[in-house]
Amino acid sequence: MIGRERILEGLERLLKRLPGEQFELVYTGGRSDLTRYTRSEIHQNVSVENMRVYIRAALGKRLGVVTVNTLEEGPLLQAAKQAVELAQRQPENPYFEGFPSPAEYEPTTTYFEATAKFTPKQRAEVVKKVFAEAERLGFEVSGAFSTSTGEIAVLNSNGLEAYQPLTGVEISLVPVSQEGMGYADAFAHDVEKIDLEAVAARALERCSLNKGQQDIPLGQYDVILEPGCLAEVMRWLNLIAFRAQAFIEGTSFLAGKLGERAMGENITIYDSIHEPEAQGLPFDFQGCPKRKVTLIERGINRGVVFDLMSARQAKAEPTGHAGPPDSPYGPMPWNICMEAGDSSLEEMVASCEKGLLVTRFHYLNGFLDPKRAMMTGMTRYGTFLVEEGKIKHAVKNLRWTESMLRAFSNVRAISRKREVFSYGGAAGFAIAPAVYIEGFTFTGVQEEGAVGQ
């Protein structure tokens, strides 16, 4: 960790030396420590530390961005000059009206010392216990256990100044038997919030059940999706529906249909930095305060997320969801959540006359028909036939093809408990429950061993 004082002092010193044009400076940096294991042996310990400074120059409505990975003044000044030169060659952006002004931010807690100080030895001690329990059952374990620390800062020529430290811990466990695999993972800012024994027990239990996979007829089944399945679906909904660019271009199912029903009354999806399971950054990558945004409210289309420029283009209010300056996706939800229900995974299984319990989705594709949120993907790490409220046996991995608008219009139950899933860093995540969906469409079969492990 470089620290707030050193980062802000370095960037403020740069701003004072820059010419009269308007500038925005964004700092991202940190360290990631990873322990990777396969066949119940640790085979890799990696530590990576890096930083990135985005320098965006504004000449009227012309913008130029240059990125460097240093806080040294000489290279930063040179990069600023290059940003100005790039801006001179760009067409005007009619929706740019200047960088944001200083703002106040609601505080969030995203940094935990216990995570920052978690050592490779501690990671090894955790997975050693998992290896021992897996060996007792005749399994081998693969996966990864990572901890990270990071810092994000935004400054601009208008006097805006924002800084936030963050930590993250993520573990994945893939026990493998002669007949199949199991899976469980967990993410948190605070390593002490993760029940590592419970995560391991869940992965091993799924592997124990995932044997003797049988064929079943293709078609529609009631399906109980564990939270990880929902996290993957919500990642795709971010991309095809809830980001500003998809809404403005008209490819989102919300485009031209705000206020209309798209899903069942028990479905509410929103983006929020203040949740009991995890908190997010209080500002976006332009330094704008993040607002809670309701995307779907009791099945009704309510809105998407915007940054400053996309909000002006759509004649809407900005919501504080700008991504990094080099992001190809524009503003999108960083902390997407589905509202909890009043059921549990066990209650869903007990209430199911005939259906499928799915551990995880894999290889999703949401570009089939974004206007209907039509997606396809595979089940993985354990798919089980449920009859008369009990798990009967494992089935082979299945391909599904389904409109998630239709699926989310047929949700019979939602769990009280939600889980957190990282979207590739401590700043972005999904918070998802388990759901029971009636009439989910399965269109193909995949052998477990045929999918890359």
pLDDT tens, position by position, 231-240: 999 999 999 9
Q: Which residues pair with 188 in a beta bridge?
A: 169
Contact (Cβ atoms closer than 8 angstroms) between residue 37 and residue 43: yes
* Whole-angstrom distance, CA of residue 407 vs CA of residue 373: 10
170 and 241 housed in the same domain: no
128 and 154 housed in the same domain: yes
What is the span of the domain harbouring residue 53? 4-203
219 and 188 housed in the same domain: no
Q: CATH number, domain at 78?
A: 3.30.2290.10
- Of 203, 235, 260, the one marking the end of a domain is 203
DSSP 343: B
278 and 351 housed in the same domain: yes
Write down the pTM of the prediction. 0.96
190 and 220 housed in the same domain: no
313 and 352 housed in the same domain: yes
185 and 263 housed in the same domain: no
22 and 136 housed in the same domain: yes
* Whole-angstrom distance, CA of residue 175 vs CA of residue 39: 9
The contacts found for 9-14 with CB under 8 angstroms, 24 or more apart, are 10/71, 10/73, 10/76, 11/53, 11/71, 11/153, 11/155, 12/155, 12/161, 13/73, 14/73, 14/76, 14/77, 14/80
| Nearest one of 229, 309, 242 to 270, comparing CA atoms | 242
Residue 449, pLDDT > 70, answer no
> What is the per-residue pLDDT for 452?
38
- Of 203, 221, 246, the one marking the end of a domain is 203
Contacts of 214 (CB under 8 A, 6+ apart): 385, 393, 394, 395, 396
| Nearest one of 271, 403, 254 to 332, comparing CA atoms | 271
DSSP 285: T
344 and 420 housed in the same domain: yes
36 and 177 housed in the same domain: yes
Strands 219-225 and 354-369: parallel
* Whole-angstrom distance, CA of residue 317 vs CA of residue 90: 26
233 and 300 housed in the same domain: yes
pLDDT tens, residue by residue, 56-83: 999 999 999 999 999 999 999 999 999 9
* Tally of domains within the chain: 2
pLDDT tens, residue by residue, 322-366: 999 988 999 999 999 999 999 999 999 999 999 999 999 999 999
* Whole-angstrom distance, CA of residue 158 vs CA of residue 162: 12
157 and 295 housed in the same domain: no
Tokens representing 445 are 């079969």
- Of 171, 203, 235, the one marking the end of a domain is 203
